[in-house]
């Protein structure tokens, strides 16, 4: 089975932990690849913007759950400060 590519970002690189999740979960990868580059960038920033590992792991879990629920962007935060 050929590996599907992970869509590129706008500002941020896809971190390894997120890339590993996307590579191992085909439905999440499909949803990820359907996002706009700006939306992917916001998700990456939303995952990586926090210093505590516990928060990052929670955001990685929520990213998957939210995409599967149909959410296209992270909720309830001021947005990526790198835009």
Summarised one tens digit per residue, pLDDT across range 2-12 is 567 877 656 78
The pTM of this model reads 0.83
Tally the domains of the chain. 1
> What pLDDT score does 2 carry?
55
Answer yes or no: is 55 within a domain: yes
Check whether 27 has a pLDDT greater than 90.
yes
Answer yes or no: is 77 within a domain: no
Q: For 35-69, write each residue's pLDDT tens digit.
A: 998 899 999 999 998 889 999 999 999 999 999 99
Full domain range(s) for residue 43: 16-68
Answer yes or no: is 64 within a domain: yes
48 closest CA partner among 38, 58, 39:
58
Contact 32, 19 (CB under 8 A): no
Answer yes or no: is 20 within a domain: yes
Answer yes or no: is 75 within a domain: no
Answer yes or no: is 54 within a domain: yes
Contact 63, 30 (CB under 8 A): no
């Amino acid at each position: 089975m050929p590996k599907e590519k992970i869509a590129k970002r706008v500002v941020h690189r896809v971190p390894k932990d997120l890339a590993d999740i996307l590579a191992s979960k085909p439905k999440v990868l499909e949803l990820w690849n359907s996002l706009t580059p700006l939306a992917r960038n916001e998700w990456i920033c939303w995952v990586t913007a926090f210093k505590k590992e516990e928060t990052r792991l929670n955001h990685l879990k929520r990213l998957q759950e939210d995409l599967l629920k149909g959410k296209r962007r992270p909720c309830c935060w001021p947005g990526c400060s790198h835009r």
